Amino acid sequence: MSTHGSGDEIESALAAAPPVNVRRRPPGRKRRWRRRVLLLVIAVTGAGVATAYRAPLGQWASSRFAPAPSAHEGVQFFTARRGPLAVTMTEQGKLQAVKNNLIMLEVNGKITWLAEAGSKVHAGDPLVKIDTKEYDDRKRSLAGDLETAKQQLVAAQQALPTAETKGQSDIAAAVTKKEQAELALKLYTTLDVPKKLAEFESQINDTRSKMQDARKKQQDYQAALDEELMQDDDQRKSAEDALTLQKQTVASLQKLVANAEDQRKLFRAYNYPQDLKDKTQALTNAGLEVTRAEVTARGEVAQKEADLAKARSTIERLNIELKRLDEQIAKCSVNSPAEGLVYYGSPDLDRYGDMSSQIHVGADWYSNYPIMNIPDLSAFQVNFSIAEIYRSRLSEGARATITVDAVPGLVMSGTLATISRVSRGRISWDSTSPQVFDAKLNVDKWDGRLVAGMTVQVTMTTAYLADTLYVPIESVFNDNGTTVVYVERSGGTGKDADLPEKRVVGTGLANDHFVAITSGLKEGEPILLAQPDSYFTPADFKQRAAALAAATRAAAAAAATAAASAPATARSTPSTTAPAPP
């Protein structure tokens, strides 16, 4: 059963672990037999091989085939033991201040000055400066635009009253013209037309009256002639001439009456309607002219007002841009907000690479990342990652032990503050890398020798087995997919009596040193801490020794033949090349 334990319990469990035993088996018959075979090989080698081959061949033969005096003499053992077992994990982390004064550059540009990394600064000291030439040039250009806009504003302010006055004048002229058209129409309908008709009537009546008088005189002359009242021819002639004249006068007056009536008809049928239409249209046109003048006046005024508003807006915009430029120029120089040490980059971005390589004088800075940070050295955290297998076994508030690589012997304790709920690859650019969860650890007590960025080791208990059978991790092996240990035999007989027993076991939780055994092993059984490469029986060793002797004799014969056939000058210099192993 797995339970969580405290750090003291972990140390007690590790202290209670049994010591590693080293057992040596006394030499027996096998050792004496092997010694004899080895002496035989040495004798054959010394008799058959030239002096030039002795040293390398002896070294090769002893390193290749000579076994230890016992099958597993010198092998270390551990006695399987039952007791408490603390399952821990150890991860590498980095120290980070709890409070970091991040220095952000809100502008882009070329870095012209930097405070040296690691230097101590006080509040108000300069940290970084950006080239302001681009902003200065832009500011001068905007200042010229602002002066032009101010001149346009003055012109627009003067043009607006002129447009208003001209509009009012044009409207007044159009209104006057409309009033004149209205008056002309009224005069025509109420005065001119009746007067014209009256003139026609008067003319017709006068002509008719004259025509009646002429007819009466004609009748009188005609009656006098008819009654022959005039005896005198001259009188008669005069009367006849007067009658003829009256007839002509009547005819002429009749024509005048007819002509006057025709003119009256023509006036009523054509002149009057046409003149009335013209004057009515003139009045309508005058009304439209008033409307046009009003619209034109409003348009002109609106245009001048728009020009005025545009000039004011332009001035306002330019002032805002100039103010923003002043703010950007001010941001080109950043001072320290607090006392502390200068660190390039941000501790939160360490896992994405070293940003400090991009931070130097002359570099172009186009990043929203912090360019520096001034950590508060009074309180620190540890940033580290937790392997996916341990995520479900740890929770906030768990205790941890912290050691610092740069300060040997310093051991601190801390509390797990946060664990991310989202995993990431341990290697950011490798999609196949194991998944880990970012975590933060609060340090209980601080040591003045520590600074931000130091590498630490975090050890945390993930499980605690109060009573379990356990063995060292190095004593458990994978044999073709099966977990095995090698158990020392005791009191056995036969050819395998001197060899360890390979036994299949079941394993449970493990820490960096020990693993729990769930089956296949009993308490007190001794097991090997190293996997045996080979364990020779006497018969096996005898066969290997015979093969070695045969190979040695063949090599010696070949060397002798080569020495006999070689020239004298060649034989005078011994060879340093060992024969190839069989």
Please indicate, yes or no, whether residues 57 and 160 belong to a single structural domain of this protein.
Answer: no
Q: Are 77 and 529 in contact (CB under 8 A)?
A: yes
Examine residue 248 and state whether it is found in any structural domain, yes or no: yes
Please indicate, yes or no, whether residues 167 and 293 belong to a single structural domain of this protein.
Answer: yes
Sheet strands side by side (includes 126-130): 333-335, 126-130, 109-114, 364-365
pLDDT of residue 61: 35
Q: Tell me the average pLDDT of the chain.
A: 78
pLDDT of residue 377: 72
Cα 287 → chain centroid: 66
Please indicate, yes or no, whether residues 305 and 218 belong to a single structural domain of this protein.
Answer: yes
Is residue 536 pLDDT above 50, yes or no? no
Examine residue 120 and state whether it is found in any structural domain, yes or no: no
Residue 213's pLDDT band (cuts 50, 70, 90)? confident
pLDDT tens, 106-155? 888 899 999 988 888 888 999 999 999 999 999 999 999 999 999 999 99
- What element of type H or E holds 285? helix 272-331
Cα 545 → chain centroid: 72
Its pTM stands at 0.43
Please indicate, yes or no, whether residues 254 and 147 belong to a single structural domain of this protein.
Answer: yes
Rounded Cα distance between 310 and 300, Å, is 15
Examine residue 350 and state whether it is found in any structural domain, yes or no: no
What's the whole-number mean pLDDT along residues 48-57? 36
Residue 292's pLDDT band (cuts 50, 70, 90)? very high
* CATH code of 286's domain: 1.10.287
Examine residue 336 and state whether it is found in any structural domain, yes or no: no
Sequential DSSP letters for 321-372? HHHHHHHHHHHTEEE-SSSEE-EES-GGGGGG--GGGG-STT-EE--SS-SE
Count of domains for the chain: 2
Please indicate, yes or no, whether residues 156 and 244 belong to a single structural domain of this protein.
Answer: yes
* Burial call 168-193: b when 16+ CB within 10 Å, e when fewer: eebbeebbebbeebeebbeebeeeeb
Maximum CA extent, the chain: 218
Please indicate, yes or no, whether residues 319 and 239 belong to a single structural domain of this protein.
Answer: yes
Rounded Cα distance between 210 and 256, Å, is 10
Strand, helix or coil at 544? helix
Rounded Cα distance between 227 and 238, Å, is 15
Q: Are 72 and 528 in contact (CB under 8 A)?
A: yes
Amino acid (1-letter code) at residue 374: I
The owner of tokens 């009546």 is 205
Tokens representing 294 are 């009003």
Lowest-confidence range among 303-312, 514-523, 533-542, 552-561?
533-542
Lowest-confidence range among 140-144, 217-221, 437-441, 477-481?
217-221
pLDDT tens, 429-471? 888 889 999 999 988 887 878 777 789 999 988 888 889 999 9
Which of 304, 331, 358 is a domain's end point? Answer: 331
Short-list 434, 447, 464, CA closest to 403: 447
Beta-strand ranges (E) seen in 156-237 are: none
Please indicate, yes or no, whether residues 312 and 196 belong to a single structural domain of this protein.
Answer: yes
345 dihedral zone (left: phi>0; alpha: psi -120 to 50; beta):
left
- CA of 477: how far to CAs of 38, 176, 508, in Å? 33, 118, 14
Residue bearing the bigger pLDDT, 560 or 103 = 103
pLDDT of residue 104: 86
What's the whole-number mean pLDDT along residues 264-290? 91
Examine residue 557 and state whether it is found in any structural domain, yes or no: yes
Short-list 580, 556, 43, CA closest to 564: 556
Short-list 441, 423, 425, CA closest to 433: 425
For the ranges 243-252, 283-292, 441-450, the maximum mean pLDDT occurs at: 283-292
Short-list 299, 308, 324, CA closest to 151: 308
Examine residue 437 and state whether it is found in any structural domain, yes or no: no
Is residue 228 pLDDT above 80, yes or no? no
Please indicate, yes or no, whether residues 40 and 175 belong to a single structural domain of this protein.
Answer: no
Strands 455-472 and 514-519 come out as antiparallel
Residue bearing the bigger pLDDT, 171 or 105 = 171
Tokens representing 179 are 């009033």
Which of 262, 296, 331 is a domain's end point? Answer: 331
pLDDT tens, 512-521? 789 999 999 9
Residue 180's pLDDT band (cuts 50, 70, 90)? very high
Is residue 476 pLDDT above 90, yes or no? yes
Which of 269, 301, 331 is a domain's end point? Answer: 331
Rounded Cα distance between 250 and 57, Å, is 179
Tokens representing 189 are 């309908």
Please state, for a pLDDT cut of 70, what percent of the chain lies above it.
75
pLDDT of residue 379: 76
pLDDT of residue 168: 92
Please indicate, yes or no, whether residues 189 and 313 belong to a single structural domain of this protein.
Answer: yes
pLDDT of residue 553: 67
The owner of tokens 């096996």 is 540
Bridge partners (DSSP) listed for residue 106: none
Please indicate, yes or no, whether residues 44 and 165 belong to a single structural domain of this protein.
Answer: no
Query: In which domain, by residue range, is 542 found?
Result: 25-71+536-582
Examine residue 105 and state whether it is found in any structural domain, yes or no: no
Residue bearing the bigger pLDDT, 408 or 350 = 408
pLDDT tens, 312-345? 999 999 999 999 999 989 989 999 988 888 888 8
Lowest-confidence range among 178-187, 258-267, 496-505, 512-521?
496-505
Residue 68's pLDDT band (cuts 50, 70, 90)? very low
What's the whole-number mean pLDDT along residues 185-191? 90
Examine residue 178 and state whether it is found in any structural domain, yes or no: yes
What's the whole-number mean pLDDT along residues 4-30? 40
pLDDT of residue 350: 52
Lowest-confidence range among 43-57, 185-199, 221-235?
43-57
Please indicate, yes or no, whether residues 36 and 170 belong to a single structural domain of this protein.
Answer: no
Please indicate, yes or no, whether residues 65 and 143 belong to a single structural domain of this protein.
Answer: no
- What element of type H or E holds 314? helix 272-331
Is residue 240 pLDDT above 90, yes or no? no
Lowest-confidence range among 164-178, 355-369, 538-552?
538-552
